[in-house]
Amino acid sequence: MRNSSSAAEIIYLHRREESNSDASDKRRATRRKVLKSAIAAFNDRFCTVGCVVRDISATGARLRTENSVDIPDTFELLIDLDGLEASCRVVWRRQKELGVHIRGRAPKGGA
Q: Is residue 21 part of a domain?
A: no
In a domain, 80, yes or no: yes
Whichever domain contains 66, its CATH number is 2.40.10.220
Per-residue pLDDT tens over the stretch 60-82:
999 999 988 899 999 999 999 99
Q: Which domain holds residue 34?
A: 26-105
Asked whether residue 69 is domain-assigned, the answer is yes
Full DSSP string of 20-74: SS-HHHH-SS--EEEEEEEEEEETTTTEEEEEEEEEE-SSEEEEE-S-GGGS-SE
Instruction: Answer yes or no: is 38 within a domain.
Output: yes
Looking at residue 31, what is its pLDDT? 81
Is 11 a member of any domain? no
- Examine residue 3 and state whether it is found in any structural domain, yes or no: no
**Is residue 14 scored above 90 in pLDDT?**
no
pTM recorded for the entire structure: 0.71
Query: What is the count of structural domains for the chain?
Result: 1
Residue 9 lies in a domain: no
